[in-house]
Amino acid sequence: MRIGITCYPTYGGSGVVATELGIELAAKGHEVHFISYSQPFRLSGRDEGIHYHEVPVSSYPLFEFPPYDLALASRMAEVAEFNDLDLLHVHYAIPHSVSALLARQMLAAKGRRLPFVTTLHGTDITLVGLDRSYLPITAYAIQESDGVTSISNYLKEETFAHFDITREIEVIPNFVNCNVYTPYKDPAARATARARLARPDEAILMHLSNFRPVKRVVDVVRVFALVAKEIPARLVLVGDGPDRSAAEWLAHDLQIHDRIHFMGKQERVHELLPLADLMLMPSELESFGLAALEAMACRVPSIATRVGGVAELIDDGVTGLLYPVGKVEDMAAGALGLLNDPACMEAMREAGRATAKKRFCASLVVPQYVKYYEKVLSGKG
């Protein structure tokens, strides 16, 4: 198949999943065309069978806000026509579904069919989509999609609860390449890599996100501060975003800034995750929890919050520990309990890796997307 994919190319779960999906599809022999305002960051060095098409946006003085959604629709139609695409797959409803709908109508006027699939990722439904300014058009574009998928049952139910949607929504979970996200096989090599971040006697706690308020990065620092009072430890923060400054100031106020590594955005997170002992994910809301899944595949348990679709991924007490939002002291106590109990930690590591391989490997999930594409192309989406 020839598939067009549109996503936000910046640091965030929807862009990561869309990019990894394109990479996996190309590896299976499909032709993939990314259409966005910049190249998705995870494509670097892994572009066999993948094409990128930039969306130019005019900065005409009359426009206070450049009309990206219209430029995107035009570019989608052009790329589809010039490259004979079979379908579009847009990730994150706003504005991508609306743009795909316009592109479909533009080509229909020329007698050409271009179906599109919308994948709902989270805040496009639970936050932005609920804004009254966007709700009607978001609901319409989802309803008019040729196919709709959701990354969790939680998000599917939220969509039905808050939008006037009557069509079917297929749940296809996020995934991880279990051959890329994998633990170190050589303990000596892992120890050498860890030495760049911490002393041998220090535990490494890690957090990976886009540092938006919903991720509660300040809580990450607070949890770590309580852990670091009791045992030697380091915190590795991977990513960047609006709450980084608040996290940095808190680290200085708590006098633990010298024990925290702010790594910024990293393209090769699969090389960092296996170095961690625990992943911290104290989010206000997660529709799935991709960072926790990537950590699980690397044999790293998560200390997370029982929100959204997280419980569909993490089995509390088996593959990680779940807590109410804001319970910093409880999360720190849970982290310390695991770090001080090697047998329990090892069991959780094994269970996490096993769950990732059994339920969420790309080799299992990507074929679900291919099957769904075929269903949409047959007119049964």
Summarize the confidence of residues 60-84 as an average pLDDT: 88
pLDDT of residue 136: 86
pLDDT of residue 49: 87
Q: Where are the domains of the chain?
A: 2-175+362-377, 187-359
Structure tokens at 83: 């490259």
pLDDT of residue 381: 66
Residue bearing the bigger pLDDT, 240 or 65: 240
Is it the case that residue 360 has pLDDT exceeding 60? yes
Cα 67 to Cα 15, 55, 57, 63, 199, distances in angstroms? 21, 11, 7, 8, 51
The amino acid sitting at 157 is E
pLDDT of residue 372: 97
Residues 105 and 103: their CA atoms lie apart, in Å, by: 5
- pTM equals 0.91
Is it the case that residue 38 has pLDDT exceeding 70? yes
Residues 86 and 84: their CA atoms lie apart, in Å, by: 7
Do β-strands 2-6 and 87-91 pair in parallel, antiparallel, or remain unpaired? parallel
Class of domain 187-359: alpha beta
Lowest mean pLDDT among 10-24, 266-280, 321-335, 357-371: 10-24
Residues 287 and 213: their CA atoms lie apart, in Å, by: 15
Give me the percent of the chain exceeding a pLDDT of 90: 82
In CATH terms, are 2-175+362-377 and 187-359 the same topology? yes
User: Vertex 96, ends 95 and 101: CA angle to 5°?
Assistant: 105
User: Vertex 235, ends 232 and 237: CA angle to 5°?
Assistant: 175
pLDDT of residue 128: 60
Q: How many CB atoms lie within 10 A of CB 123?
A: 20
Residues 133 and 128: their CA atoms lie apart, in Å, by: 9
> Can you tell me which residue has the tokens 């706003």?
94
Structure tokens at 338: 């695991």
Cis peptide before 40 (omega within 30 of 0): no
User: Vertex 20, ends 15 and 26: CA angle to 5°?
Assistant: 130
Topology adopted by domain 2-175+362-377: Rossmann fold (3.40.50)
The amino acid sitting at 202 is E
Do β-strands 203-209 and 31-36 pair in parallel, antiparallel, or remain unpaired? unpaired
How far is C-alpha 369 from the chain's CA centre?
A: 16
pLDDT of residue 25: 96
Summarize the confidence of residues 256-263 as an average pLDDT: 96
pLDDT of residue 330: 98
The amino acid sitting at 317 is G
Do β-strands 147-150 and 50-54 pair in parallel, antiparallel, or remain unpaired? unpaired
The average confidence (pLDDT) of the chain is 93
Is it the case that residue 131 has pLDDT exceeding 80? no
Structure tokens at 342: 């090697």
What band does 211 get if pLDDT is binned at 50, 70 and 90?
very high
Summarize the confidence of residues 87-107 as an average pLDDT: 95
Contact at 8 Å (CB) between 117 and 372?
yes
Is it the case that residue 47 has pLDDT exceeding 90? no
